Structure 1
Amino acid sequence: MKRLISILVSLTILVIIYTRIDFSGLIEVFLDCHIAWMIVSLAMVIPITGFTAWRLQQLLPPQATIGLWEANKLILAASVLNMVLPSKMGDIAKAYFMRERGNLSGSLSLSIVVFEKACDMLSLLLWCAFGLLLYPRKDAFFAVMTVGIVGGLTVGLLLLSSRAFAQTFFRLARRLTPRKISLKLETLQTSWGEMHGYFWSDRAQLLKIALTSIFVWFLHLLQIWFFILALNAWVNPVTNLALSPLAILAGLLPLTFAGVGTRDAALIALYEPYFSAATGAALGLLCTSRYVLPAIGGLPFLNQYLSTVRLMQKR
């Protein structure tokens, strides 16, 4: 039911967007696109997936039996499941896959996925904070966004670096949330504690993972800038570092299907000073392709993981 509601919300927002823009102008934007840049920008999915898979492989302990090709398949299969299961359950399913195929304990495999997602979020916030601090427009909205992003980045780094702060944070969060959410936070708290013990035992490895995550998210944001060039538009690269993460964060709000709708509206609004709403809508469609293309690539590998997903749903 939640998935159906999110799809309906996405469709409603898209209908509002496309009734307010010049739809023929949207078609014209794609017809007039720069073919070479379009090919390059869409092909960026390949190195992004490859580096993400390599990072996952580096996160695993030496006794794990998951190679780089298997890690790529896990990433792609999780992309498929994230499109059809609620609440990013594809990433949780990935933890089950690693437990079954990598000879890992359930808690350790979940800890690895939690750490992977934490690195992704902190890297996105880091680039966003960097871009916002250099962004010349300093009105009230961007001032609030800068404070919020820097604050979120600070809290995230404290959660990742200080076990005492993390325990206090989770205890407080569990007291303030309903029982159903509190139980999920309890599981996350346990995994977070194990994650601290596992990753801080090797600081050189931790630094390598952190730098890789920052680089992977640079590639994500670079791809969006390439999309803009493919649409024959222009935005300063530093400006793109400020605006594109805000649009991605809007797409992470638990309102819509895979961020469709909220992300599109955010792109149109944020990039309004730089190009037309039709170009912003086209950019929204291309940003959605960043999630659709890996999902399509993961379809051939999904079959071998479905039994694990069924087991996960039973539990």
Structure 2
Amino acid sequence: MTNITILCENTAIPAKGILGEHGFAAYIEVRAGRYLFDTGQGHTLTHNATTLGIDLSRLNKIMLSHGHFDHTGGLAQALNGCAPVEVHAHPDIFLERFAVSKIRGKQMLRAIHNPVSAAKLRRFGAKLVFNTEFTQIDRNLYLTGEIPSKTVFEMPDTRLVLKKNGKLVLDPLKDDQSAVLKTRKGLVVIFGCAHAGMINTLEHIRQHLPNEKIHMIIGGTHLGFLSDEQVAESIDCLKLFAIEKIGVSHCTGGRAALALMNAFREKFFFANAGSTITL
């Protein structure tokens, strides 16, 4: 049996004690072991895990989707008790990153990078394992590595920048990757934010696991900043994969979530904090 429990997400199920926060974390429990994909900001991870009866000290491995604070901020809490433990991620997760916005006509920068350095993580007991390619993490569990951009409608988010040689440049987010789990029903794909593009990610997975059907997708799709036309194109392409369950979270956005719900009806669900998917 496979259980995937959402520990951190912007919204929470209506159950006593479960808290929401802007971020994402998913706990994966299979016969081979227990894994954590992303850690949220760090405000709700351990609280929600304790409330749900999940013992994070028994984690076998931790995986990170990318280096933004709302996916890496809970690393210190996750490592407390389970260290030493492998932390799998792309080497770019420690880049200095910012979000650009305008307030009263003035450009503002907000730091959004991983708040914990590699040196500090190692002191906490993290055994950092970096990957850039499609990689098997454990039995029936993979990380996608870097995802090539092939679609014309999945555009980079121009609000996201990084510092390079003292200048701000568009962040290519090469570290964005998703987790892929083989189950008896087919592949389950867990997005952190899908900054590389939801369809780009699914095409990349299909290239590496061509004989496997994608049964379910879960997590943040980062459709919220796209235009209605771009969201519609994403949905049209998503239909071609014949995915049976679509559970959105985090950065999908209300407008895009509504479009997905209207398109997929009974296949659609919200993967919010406290929800468990059993396969």
TM over 0.5: no
| Greater helix content | 1
TM norm structure 2: 0.32
Structure showing the higher strand proportion among its residues: 2
Which structure has more relative contact order (CA 8 Å, sep 6+)? It is 1
Q: TM-score, normalised by structure 1?
A: 0.29
Larger-Rg structure = 1
